[in-house]
Amino acid sequence: MNKQHVFTRAIRTIAVLAALFLLFSCGGSSRSTGQTYKPGTYTASAKGYHGDVTVAVKVTKNKIAAVRVLEHGETPGISDLAINGIPKAIVASQSLAVDSVSGASFSSKAVITATTEALTQAGADIDKLMVAGQSAKKEKDETLTADVVVIGAGGAGMAAGVSAHQNGATVIILEKMPKVGGNTISAGGAMNAVDEGSETALKNKDSVALHFKQTYEGGDKKGDEELVKTLVENAWDSVAWLQSMGMKFLPDPFTVTGGLWPRAHKPVDPVGTGFFKTYNAYIESNKGIEVRLNVKADSIILENGKVTGVIATGKTGNKITVKANKGVVVATGGFGQNIAMRQEFNKAWPTLDESVKSTNHPGATGDGIAMAKAVNAQLVQMENIQLLPLGDPETGSLSGNIETDVEKRIFVNTEGKRFVDEGARRDTMTLALFKQPGAKLWIIVDAHSYPQGTKKNNFNESIDDLVAAGRAFKGETLEELAKNIGVPPENLVATVADFNKHVASKKPDAFGRTLFSEPLDKGPFYAGARIPTVHHTMGGIKIDKETHVIDVNGQIIPGLYAAGEVTGGIHGTNRLGGNALTDITVFGRIAGKNAATGK
């Protein structure tokens, strides 16, 4: 089977489908759209997620000859498929009825809207170009075979696939979305790991034992000790493994929100994109490993007590049977976007119905949990669902966040008063937030965090962009800031004065906060609104430390492995910030290796 670069493959798939679609909507008789254009090149812009997306559209008398995105500020890695694939699909199908890319719908819409505007200038009949075609012709059913089949091309699945391949296996990774990445690609990008005994670890008074203690105790000692031990003991080796494949990290670890200690290693590439750049480069330069996009796994094949493959559905509804000579790895991520499951298992939060948003990508629907359950897998700690207090009020995503070191910010409610230790565990902060008016907080920072308006967050957004878009607010003084966000100025001034006293004394404050660095005393001051948002589902499939899936009777299900957010029992009641990327990399690697070697 030919190995394809995953993005190229997705782009080609979209293009082919769109072309087919038009062909069939025209009765299959002709590719002509009957359109006439004023020949020339037209440019137009439309709003994307981060400012304008500008396209140039070249038309001849009766053809859209080329569509090119000239400028955009969309997040690299996340928007690539929309920015590169949609123009090609429009040209291939000679139509505007092309699919948006899930997970990049704003960027997709911007490309389509700007192209529509440019084609209007060219005198096109837009209504005709917008006619949605019939669904594409069903592709043939097929059977594929590999040594190891991985379900899900997020961080855990890609780690498992690459690791299986490095251990001699041929690998097929199935991904139901049109792109790789899952939640991981938009993750904050902090990976906890201790390089035991190194200068940095000594300087930060850090150790693998402390990482264990904080992870285990941070989850109220409900995590499986063996799994936690496996996590922390293999964390640094996993960073080194990624580095060995070319991934770059910033030199100094930092304290990520809810991470409790400066041990989070931040990739140089934005958000989680560095992981996929690294894995894609490996897949591109090796034979015998491929990612199949737009293929949704439906069930796990169990024959005579052993897992032997996966039944899946292709984009056109065709059945794809994928046989696994050695093993199947379930790496489908969590169920943060499955409201029925959230409601079914939630015990800790006032509600997790549709009123509560999520940071998760749309594909986080718990499919792997259902598939594993159907072959008798045991599920553990499903009620442990993590929320963050840092969701965008409109979308629940982490974009728009005013990022800074935990030490340098405070949270205030709409009264301008602090209500929690901002360095506390994520659940503590979010439960406290639910109790505030409107369950809304303002992050407050000053010029110590943002010395220049051009400083960007993880999502490539500068604080100036956020202020201009009304997603953050600025004041030269605290009073001005308070007026701009509608909180009583005297309260905000008093809150900050009290906070600054503790910064000076370094004594724990009324909320138990102990992490301090600089005072909030240097204008300009900035504020951004945030709400509770579902972030990580910590329960899931029970595994042992070798990532074997354990059944309801406590026995290993032969041939079945699981890794990443789909598994349960590692993080207990509360996952430390920065431990997810460690989890998916450590356990993904183990799953891939064991599936390849039959361990």
Q: Which residues form the catalytic set?
A: 426
Stretch that binds ligand ADP, among 132-140, 148-156, 420-428, 542-550 (CB under 6 A): 148-156
Tell me how many residues contact ligand ADP (CB under 6 A): 27
**CB-based closest residue to ligand ADP:** 154
**What's the CA angle centered on 369, arms 425 and 336, to 5 degrees?**
40
Q: Which residue lies nearer to ligand ADP by CB, 368 or 416?
A: 368
How many whole angstroms separate alpha carbon 404 and alpha carbon 197? Answer: 28
Using CB atoms within 10 Å of the CB of residue 502, give its burial: 0 to 12 exposed, 13 to 18 middle, 19+ buried. Answer: middle
Nearer to ligand ADP by Cβ, of 300 and 463: the residue is 300
210 closest CA partner among 228, 223, 227: 228
Residue 180 C-beta: closest distance to ligand ADP, Å: 7
Eight-state DSSP code of residue 281: H
Kindly tell me which of 133 and 182 has the beta carbon lying closer to ligand ADP. 182
Residue among 436 and 579 whose Cβ is closer to ligand ADP: 579
Provide the minimum distance between the beta carbon of 292 and ligand ADP in the complex, in angstroms, as a whole number.
9
The DSSP letter of residue 513 is: -
- Residue 359 near residue 396 (C-beta atoms within 8 A): yes
CB 355 within 8 A of CB 339: no
Q: Is 297 near ligand ADP (CB under 6 A)? A: yes
CB of 315 to ligand ADP, least distance (A): 12
Nearest CB to ligand ADP, comparing residues 19 and 174: 174
Strands in 51-59's sheet, in edge-to-edge order, are 40-48, 51-59, 64-71
Kindly state whether residue 258 participates in binding ligand ADP, applying the rule CB under 6 A: no
Q: Which stretch binds ligand ADP (CB under 6 A): 5-13, 87-95, 249-257, 325-333?
A: 325-333
Contacting ligand ADP within 511-570 (CB under 6 A) = 564-566
Tokens 């010029």: give the residue: 447
Least distance (Å) between residue 326 CB and ligand ADP: 19
**Which residue, 296 or 417, is less far from ligand ADP as judged by CB?**
296
d(CA 568, CA 183): 17
Considering Cα of 59, then 62, then 63, then 69, what sign does the dihedral take?
positive
Q: How far is the CB of 429 from ligand ADP (least distance, A)?
A: 22
Closest by Cα among 49, 60, 104, 57 to 82: 104
> Taking CB under 6 A as the rule, does residue 155 contact ligand ADP?
yes
Within 172-231, which residues bind ligand ADP (CB under 6 A)? 174-177, 182-184
The answer to whether residue 153 forms part of the interface with ligand ADP (CB under 6 A) is yes
Return the closest-CA partner of residue 540 out of 386, 360, 351: 386
Shortest distance in whole angstroms from residue 578 CB to ligand ADP = 13
Among 51, 133, 154, 309, which residue sits at the site for ligand ADP (rule: CB under 6 A)?
154
Identify residues 329-348 at the interface with ligand ADP (CB under 6 A): 331-333
Q: Which of 164, 420, 439, 584 binds ligand ADP (CB under 6 A)?
A: 584
Q: Which residues from 414-473 bind ligand ADP, rule CB under 6 A?
A: none
Long-range contacts of 319-323 (CB under 8 A, 24+ apart): 319/141, 319/142, 320/141, 320/142, 320/143, 320/144, 320/292, 320/295, 321/141, 321/142, 321/143, 321/144, 322/143, 322/144, 322/145, 322/146, 322/149, 322/172, 322/174, 323/143, 323/144, 323/145, 323/146, 323/149
Q: How far is the CB of 155 from ligand ADP (least distance, A)?
A: 4
Cβ atoms of 105 and 179 closer than 8 Å: no
List residues binding ligand ADP (CB under 6 A): 151-157, 174-177, 182-184, 296-297, 331-333, 363-364, 367-368, 564-566, 584
